[in-house]
Amino acid sequence: MSKRLYVTSLVQANNCSHQYKLKVSGFEPKPPDTGLLAGILFENAAKIYLPRTEISAKEAVLAANENNLPENILNFVEFALEKLPDELKTAETADFSVFAERELGGFMLAGYVDLVADGAIYELKYTHKYMNEPQKAHIFQLQHYMYLLDRDEATIVYACNTKKPSVLAFKVKRWSEHKYLALIRGLANRYYEDAPLGLIHDWLCDYCAFSHVCEYKNEQNEVYLSYDSTK
Ligand code: SF4
């Protein structure tokens, strides 16, 4: 029988395998901060806003504001919904958290794709930075989605809550199967065999829900994987 690989575990193993270990060791994650709650609001408001009906962006944001976030964040999320790419705003179907599984290279790959609109894959991200290109970690995440749904292209949309707010969309191409399988084989070994810390992305500790109990925090630049999964 094929080994089952969950996309969430692969993404976590690629980012920081130690985070996964802290999670399964029973440590409690930190409560979400305002930035994380704003990201959740953006996603939940998009679920109400898409596919487009007569509901306005403002109404979608107010309906999704379960955590009573302040007005400046509500205004930004409203702006971000209105600035979504045209092909998303005109899509006739928009399905969120689409479950998919697929046998590939001896594995059973399984996971949830963030958003599928008119058959095309999208990932929505809220960020405090201006993004002039997609993050490597996000390109990697989209590879799983493209392989799960057998698509050659996916789009990542960044809602950038900066001094000059913007919404930027980037197309990402699917990697060759050879390259993709080499990467997930390495990651599968890591998460099944409890291998040591493998951290590629030095911004991760800033967003990590387990940084309060992590002995490796701030050492991230000294510990790298023996291969570069991002090329
Ligand atoms: S704080 Fe950094 S090194 Fe520690 S678990 Fe989180 S991401 Fe990994």
Q: What is the pLDDT of residues 183-214, one digit of tens each?
A: 888 877 766 555 444 555 566 787 888 889 98
Angle among Cα 183, 187, 189 to the nearest 5 degrees reads 120
Cβ–ligand 1 distance for 214 under 6 Å, the answer yes
Residue 211 CA to ligand 1 centre (angstroms):
6
pLDDT of 190 reads 67
pLDDT > 60? residue 120: yes
Q: Is 217 in the pocket of ligand 1 (CB under 6 A)?
A: yes
Assess if residue 122 is contained within a domain.
yes
Burial of 184 (0-12, 13-18, 19+ CB in 10 A): buried
User: For 46-90, what is each residue's pLDDT tens digit?
Assistant: 999 999 989 999 999 999 999 999 999 999 999 999 999 999 999
Q: Which residues lie below 8 Å from residue 27, measured CB to CB, with a gap of 6+?
A: 210, 213
- Is pTM beyond 0.85? Reply is yes
Instruction: Confirm or reject: Cβ of 18 under 6 Å from ligand 1.
Output: yes
Question: How many domains is the chain partitioned into structurally?
Answer: 1
Mean pLDDT of 117-137: 94
Percent of the chain with pLDDT over 90: 62
In ligand 1, which atom is closest to the CA atom of 15? Answer: 7
Q: What is the pLDDT of residue 218?
A: 67
Which CATH number does the domain housing residue 155 bear? 3.90.320.10
In a domain, 132, yes or no: yes
Q: Is 134 part of any domain?
A: yes
pLDDT at 11: 83
> Comparing 12 with 35, which gets the higher pLDDT?
35
| Residue 146 belongs to a domain | yes
**Helix (H/G/I), strand (E/B), else coil: 220:** helix
Closest residue to atom 2 of ligand 1, CA basis: 205
The minimum-distance atom of ligand 1 relative to the CA of 215 is 4
205 Cβ inside 6 Å of ligand 1? yes
Q: Which contacts (CB < 8 Å, 24+ apart) does range 168-172 have?
A: 168/131, 168/132, 169/85, 170/131, 170/133, 170/134, 172/134, 172/138, 172/139, 172/142, 172/146
Q: Ligand 1 atom closest to Cα of 209?
A: 6
Which domain does 110 fall in, by range? 3-31+83-222
Residue 39 in domain: no
Residue 199 near ligand 1, beta carbon < 6 Å: yes
For ligand 1, pick from 199, 202, 213, 222 the residue to mutate: most ligand atoms within 8 Å of CB: 199
Residue 51 is assigned to a structural domain of this protein: no
Q: Is 201 in the pocket of ligand 1 (CB under 6 A)?
A: no
pLDDT beyond 90 at 165: yes
